[in-house]
Amino acid sequence: MSRCRLKEWYNVVVRPDLMAKMQYTNTHAIPKLSGVSVQVTTKQAATGLDNAVPAAFILELVTGQTAALTRVKNANSMYKVRPGHLEGAKVTLHGDQMYHFLDRMVTQVLPRITDFNGLNPKSFDGKGNYALPIKDWSFFLEVEAQHSNLQHLNLQKSPGLGVQIHTTAKTDDEAKLLLTAMRFPFRPS
């Protein structure tokens, strides 16, 4: 794999900057990215494996890692699902793959979204993690390059991706400072 631009940026620029701004006395207290979870859920997946595999395949294209199929844990009569039914696919990224994915997302995907005004600063969970919904995965260049091969997949509607960015930050303010320093475009709150 090639160099991770975002990882180098974190080590060379962001860490010293956060150390100075937040006045940490221990270098291990500096917040960092610990992982990224990417999942997709489709209503069609509950009807069978044939409808869950296309979502997993596209998730593998986007992340570069094998996707695991996920199943429903609780019954929901509104969606007509029972425990054990398929609901989609999930991938968890760490290390260099995480940095490559986030770099592509920030530099290529987010600028291609129409009417994009910045990321919602209120999507933090209170523990320093950030949830980012991407409504359409056709913004990823990997999916666009394989568009002619993906025509035969029976996806009626392109389901969105749910991206959770996990950090070691203890508060949302620390996490927002970290992600802002990593060039995530937050809109003014």
Averages of pLDDT over each 10 residues, the chain, 189 residues:
83 94 91 94 68 80 90 76 80 95 92 89 94 84 72 63 94 95 90
Helices (H), the chain: 5-9, 15-22, 49-63, 95-104, 110-112, 141-145, 172-181
What pLDDT is recorded for position 1?
Answer: 47
- With 0-12 / 13-18 / 19 or more C-beta atoms within 10 angstroms meaning exposed / middle / buried, residue 56 is buried
- With 0-12 / 13-18 / 19 or more C-beta atoms within 10 angstroms meaning exposed / middle / buried, residue 151 is exposed
Which pTM was predicted? 0.87
What is the 8-class DSSP label of residue 115?
Answer: T
What pLDDT is recorded for position 161?
Answer: 86
Token pair 């009417």 is at which residue? 115
What pLDDT is recorded for position 151?
Answer: 63
- Of the CATH numbers 1.10.3720.10, 3.30.1440.10, 3.90.1150.10, 3.90.1640.10, which one belongs to the domain with range 33-177? 3.30.1440.10
